[in-house]
Amino acid sequence: MRRHVLAAIASAMLVTCAGAQGQPGANRAKTRPLTKITIAGKAIAGDDLLVHSGTTYVSVSALARVLGASVASQGQMAVLTVPPASERECGDVPASKKLSDTYRKAAVRIPEAIETLRLQVKKHETPIPSASFDQVDHQIFEAEFHAQTEADKSVSYALRHANDTLAIMYYKLWRGVPPDIAEVGQLDSVLCSMESKFALQVGRFSGKESCSVFRPASSN
């Protein structure tokens, strides 16, 4: 395959390296050219790296190899297609952090439904039918039938927690409870919803979740 280079991608990947060179004790008259780049434990080196005028270029074929991506040439443009996380090698990711594809497909739209309701609550324009929260809860219940792993169940619990906490806040606000009291716990509700969305998209926990429901699962 003809050697292609992507300067933009290389520059993005080298931010960490550049930051390290700027730390105390790293000031030099001349910066040494990079001879190796490591992504997720896989190295790019040798002829796959080209340094020109202070910029490091990475060959498309090497980048695709370490990312597990496929490459398609369209004229003078190279298109990389990176498969979903579930289709790539997960390495040492514990089973307790992995979501099943079946559950992901069943639950992937639920976080967005919760956040749509959250926007309506913040607008305070028109009353929200209680059935709206019940419909989301029903979606969570139906998706849970497809749960196959402990991670699936953790996401299901987190989504239910996010929806229930949001519904409680809404009813408190409409009963005249001061916002600073009614909104207690909403940060955790948002975290549980958004971190569930991320886990459903990539197929696993990152291990850095802050949602109260995820802490035991993501720390394994």
Helix, strand, coil content of the chain in percent (nearest 5): 55, 15, 35
126-135, 145-154, 198-207, range with the lowest pLDDT: 126-135
How large is the average pLDDT for residues 181-201? 90
Residue 51: phi and psi, rounded to 5, are -105, 125
Q: CB within 8 A of 173, min separation 6: which ones?
A: 121, 124, 179, 182
Q: How confident is the model at residue 192 (pLDDT cuts 50, 70, 90)?
A: very high
E strands in 35-111:
36-39, 42-45, 49-52, 55-58, 70-74, 77-81
35-49, 96-110, 166-180, range with the lowest pLDDT: 35-49
The token pair at 112 is 């967005």
Distance of alpha carbon 117 from alpha carbon 166, whole angstroms: 8
Determine contact, residues 180/170, Cβ cutoff 8 Å: no
> What tens digit of pLDDT does each residue of 6-53 get?
443 444 344 334 444 444 444 444 556 667 777 766 788 877 777 766
C-alpha closest to that of 110 among 75, 73, 147:
147
Return the pLDDT at 53.
Answer: 63
> What tens digit of pLDDT does each residue of 135-160 get?
999 999 999 999 999 999 999 999 99
Determine contact, residues 148/100, Cβ cutoff 8 Å: yes
Most confident of 65-69, 119-123, 185-189, 196-200: 196-200
Tell me which H or E stretch contains 115.
helix 110-123
Determine contact, residues 108/75, Cβ cutoff 8 Å: no
Distance of alpha carbon 193 from alpha carbon 85, whole angstroms: 20
Residue 130, Cβ density class (10 Å: 0-12 exposed, 13-18 middle, ≥19 buried): exposed
24 versus 178: the higher-pLDDT residue is 178
Q: CB within 8 A of 56, min separation 6: which ones?
A: 10, 11, 14, 33, 34, 37, 49, 50
Distance of alpha carbon 124 from alpha carbon 173, whole angstroms: 9
